[in-house]
């Protein structure tokens, strides 16, 4: 990821344009150009060999105008404050686009979790939780898994918070294990939401899914599930990749076998092979001749250079912020429809909302009901964004921002500015 590119500035560029399209004055939305709260903490951890390492942690709350702040926590060696600020803001817009009563937040620790033991990760997580404890809570700010974090990490956060409170508080995080209040369908929710988004888009554009070829960049929690579910729906996946390598097979990849291999191989996809398959680079995958490209890795993957060379007919953003703002302009000029992250990958936060509601109700919903409810919410959101896209003759990204900003700015206006 290039550090020359500021993702928060990119978010602001789109926000300002959306405000202009909505006819908002600067005063109407100026509060949304800055996070409500930025917390940077030092996280000392006694490592396995006895020495103490101090890590930097962040928790950013962008907006609480529509409800408690919501957003994941990522562990990554390349994370910085601007990235977390952008991710927090994108969470605000995601929650507003799908019309769930949350604001946006995000957290991160600057570390390389691949070099750390489970004990070190547990101590890191518990100390980080203690450091951000004053701003956490089911009514304040509810973390969830993100890059390099999972249900186990959420369990440690939930337990740490509960120990300080003196009683179990399952609703302080989502994406937990089922045994301590997690929700059925949560692990697959983001990927399932991407699948629903692709189906909604194909229906709107009148395309035949059996003839469409898809490339998925990133074969982790989101990309692998998206690929698997789309494959089951009759789409042909011809390219996949992760940090280890990219794979291409013109005839289509057996996604179930590839996923099983990656899940059980320390080198991930590296070494996986099918007849007719060849290894490709990340850039080759992003510029393949495909009908739909799904970037499901990290941000800033579709740069100006990639945007000029990509042969994809449609892009569906499963990752957060995978397209730089200047690359987005090129895609618009090239008439390549791009379904933005704040719409396409909202499945995770929708089912996180379901989990939070279940925790508040002390009641567990069945998975069929959860998936039907997710589909219903995502279809309604897609239809609303599509209508704005047609009515205002704007890109799908701009349409999604318009829908989201309208809701958040209205909530802010109704509540007013304290005091």
> What CATH number did the domain enclosing 89 receive?
3.40.50.10860
Within a domain: 394: no
Contacts of 283 (CB under 8 A, 6+ apart): 306
Within a domain: 116: yes
Backbone angles phi, psi at 261, to 5 degrees: -65, -50
Within a domain: 382: no
Taking alpha carbons only, the member of 5, 141, 115, 9 closest to residue 55 is 115
Within a domain: 359: no
Give the CATH number for residue 322: 3.40.50.720
Angle ∠(49,58,128) on CA atoms, nearest 5: 45
Looking at the fold, whether 82 and 200 belong to one and the same domain comes out as no
Of the residues 344, 360, 388, the one at which a domain ends: 344
Within a domain: 410: no
Looking at the fold, whether 159 and 239 belong to one and the same domain comes out as no
Looking at the fold, whether 150 and 241 belong to one and the same domain comes out as no
CB 193 within 8 A of CB 350: yes
β-bridge partners, 59: 39, 107
Out of 70, 85, 94, 106, pick the active-site residue: 106
Looking at the fold, whether 162 and 221 belong to one and the same domain comes out as no
Whether the ω angle into residue 419 lies within 30 degrees of 0, i.e. cis, is yes
Please report, in tens digits, the pLDDT of each residue of the chain (419 residues total). Answer: 444 678 899 899 999 999 999 999 999 999 999 999 999 999 999 999 999 999 999 999 999 999 999 999 999 999 999 999 999 999 999 999 999 999 999 999 999 999 999 999 999 999 999 999 999 999 999 999 998 999 999 999 999 999 999 999 999 999 999 999 999 999 999 999 999 999 999 999 999 999 999 999 999 989 999 999 999 999 999 999 998 999 999 999 999 999 999 988 887 899 899 999 999 999 999 999 999 999 999 888 999 999 999 999 999 999 988 998 899 999 999 999 999 999 999 999 999 999 999 999 999 999 999 999 999 999 999 999 999 999 999 999 999 999 999 999 999 999 999 99
Q: For residue 325, give its domain range.
A: 189-344
- Start-to-end CA span in the chain (Å): 41
Enter the tokens of residue 331: 């895609």
Looking at the fold, whether 159 and 247 belong to one and the same domain comes out as no
Backbone angles phi, psi at 78, to 5 degrees: -105, 10
How many domains is the chain built from? 2
CB 337 within 8 A of CB 318: no
Looking at the fold, whether 95 and 235 belong to one and the same domain comes out as no
Taking alpha carbons only, the member of 352, 246, 249, 345 closest to residue 296 is 345
- The CA distance from 254 to 276, in Å, is 12
Enter the tokens of residue 271: 């070494």
Looking at the fold, whether 43 and 151 belong to one and the same domain comes out as yes
Q: Which CB contacts under 8 angstroms, 24+ apart, belong to 362-366? A: 364/183, 364/184, 365/183, 365/184, 366/184
- The CA distance from 15 to 390, in Å, is 19
- The CA distance from 365 to 376, in Å, is 16
Of the residues 325, 344, 363, the one at which a domain ends: 344
- The CA distance from 260 to 241, in Å, is 14
pLDDT reported for residue 388: 98
Within a domain: 380: no
Taking alpha carbons only, the member of 290, 303, 202 closest to residue 246 is 290
Looking at the fold, whether 133 and 264 belong to one and the same domain comes out as no
Looking at the fold, whether 159 and 203 belong to one and the same domain comes out as no
Looking at the fold, whether 164 and 277 belong to one and the same domain comes out as no
110 tagged catalytic: no
β-bridge partners, 57: 41, 109
């Amino acid at each position: 990821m290039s550090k020359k590119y500021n993702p928060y500035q990119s978010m602001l560029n789109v926000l300002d344009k959306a405000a202009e399209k909505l006819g908002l004055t600067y005063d109407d939305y100026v509060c949304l150009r800055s996070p409500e709260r930025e917390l940077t903490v030092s996280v000392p951890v006694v490592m396995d060999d006895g020495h103490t390492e101090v890590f930097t942690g962040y928790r950013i709350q962008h907006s609480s105008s529509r409800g408690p702040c919501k957003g994941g926590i990522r562990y990554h060696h390349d994370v910085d404050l601007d990235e977390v600020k952008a991710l927090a803001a994108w969470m605000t817009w995601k929650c507003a686009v799908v019309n769930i009563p949350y604001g946006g937040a995000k957290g991160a620790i600057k570390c390389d979790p691949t070099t750390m033991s489970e004990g070190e990760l547990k101590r890191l997580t518990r100390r980080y939780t203690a450091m951000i404890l004053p701003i956490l809570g089911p009514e304040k700010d509810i973390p969830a898994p993100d890059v390099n974090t999972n249900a186990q990490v959420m369990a440690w956060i939930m337990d740490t918070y509960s120990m300080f409170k003196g009683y179990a508080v399952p609703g302080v995080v989502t994406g937990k294990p089922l045994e301590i209040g997690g929700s059925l369908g949560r692990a697959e929710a983001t990927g399932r939401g991407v699948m629903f988004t692709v189906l909604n888009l194909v229906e709107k554009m009148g395309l035949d899914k059996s003839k469409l070829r898809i490339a998925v960049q990133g074969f982790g929690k989101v990309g692998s599930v998206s690929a698997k579910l789309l494959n089951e729906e009759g789409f042909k996946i011809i390219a996949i990749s992760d940090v280890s390598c990219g794979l291409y097979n013109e005839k289509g990849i057996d996604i179930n076998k590839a996923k099983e291999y990656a899940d059980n191989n320390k080198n991930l996809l590296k070494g996986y092979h099918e007849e007719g398959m060849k290894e490709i680079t990340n850039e080759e995958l992003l510029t393949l001749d495909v009908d739909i490209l799904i970037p499901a890795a990290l941000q800033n993957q579709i740069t100006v250079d990639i945007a000029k060379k990509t042969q994809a007919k449609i892009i569906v953003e499963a990752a957060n912020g995978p397209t730089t703002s200047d690359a987005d302009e090129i895609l618009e000029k090239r008439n390549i429809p791009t379904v933005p992250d704040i719409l396409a990958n909202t499945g995770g936060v929708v089912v996180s909302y379901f989990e939070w509601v279940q925790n508040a109700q002390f009641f567990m919903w069945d998975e069929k009901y959860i998936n039907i409810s997710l589909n219903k919410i995502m279809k309604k959101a897609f239809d609303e964004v599509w209508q704005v896209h047609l009515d205002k003759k704007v890109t799908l990204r701009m349409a999604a921002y318009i829908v989201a900003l309208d809701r958040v700015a209205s909530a802010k206006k109704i509540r007013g500015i304290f005091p």
